[in-house]
Structure 1
Amino acid sequence: MTVHELKTSPEYFGPVADGVKTFEIRKDNRGYQVGDLLLFKEYENGAFTGNAVIKEVTYLTADYQQRDYVTLAIKEPDFDVLDSTFGYNKAACLNMGYEPIWVLEEAADEDLEESISAVDAADVL
């Protein structure tokens, strides 16, 4: 599994983050595979805004696309996918601006919410 960081304009970032846009069309220059994670980073006026969201590739096809392009079906990744990828015990989804923003934190099930009382910029993907 690979994590691909992708620049995304606000007009597409919002719908992806909200779960309304469940596909992505990209140039097939990264070797995308089912199971890969896409880290969408909002990009506006020549700079990253700080908003980011992670999605998992569930299906891909090059059918009916321009040459060298692929359509990726995407969904919110399960906690175990984030755990195995980033090496944390738990992952939480917080409502801070666009949804979801994933915060990775080592915690037990019962204290997960209590352990994430303040979010540091280094914790937000």
Structure 2
Amino acid sequence: MNKHDLKILPEYFAAVVSGEKKAEFRINDREYAVGDLLCLYEHGWLKDCDGLEGFSGQHVWVRITHITDMYPWKPGYVMLSIEQGPFKC
């Protein structure tokens, strides 16, 4: 099991936290595997900071439950099905 630190835009972060979003479309630039943990860090335009871009300080841990290779539709990308914790990190 590996751990991956990734940035995520605020609107998608909120959907993951609420449980509405259950998958991540990502470039396959890491060796993702079922069971790996993703630490998703909220990053983007921050409304509470006069529209500055950066990290909000919020994060959520999720586990990869399934990986779909997006070839031939989008070569080099994967769809990661995810579930929320709690997890021991």
Q: Could you say which TM-score interval applies, normalised by the shorter chain?
A: 0.7 to 0.9
Matched residue, 1:59: 66
Distance 1:26 1:67 in 2: 11
Structure 2 gap ranges (5+): 46-52
Alpha-carbon distance in 1 for matches of 2:11, 2:70: 25
Q: C-alpha deviations, 1:59-81, integer Å up to 9, x for none?
A: 001146400000000001354xx
* Selected match of 2:54 from 22, 47, 66: 47
RMSD (Å) for aligned C-alpha atoms: 1.4
How far apart, in 2, do the equivalents of 1:16 and 1:31 lie?
22
Matched to 2:4, the amino acid is: H
Equivalent position of 2:83 in the other structure = 75
- TM-score, normalised to structure 2, is 0.83
Aligned sequence identity (%): 40
Aligned to 1:94: none
Within 1, Cα distance between the matches of 2:34 and 2:11?
25
Deviations 1:21-64 (A, max 9, x none): 00000000011000000100000233110110000000001146
Q: Which has the larger radius of gyration?
A: 1
Q: Judging by fraction of residues, say which structure has more strand.
A: 2
Aligned partner letter, 2:59:
A
Higher RCO (CA-CA < 8 Å; seq separation 6+): 2
Number of aligned positions between the proteins:
81
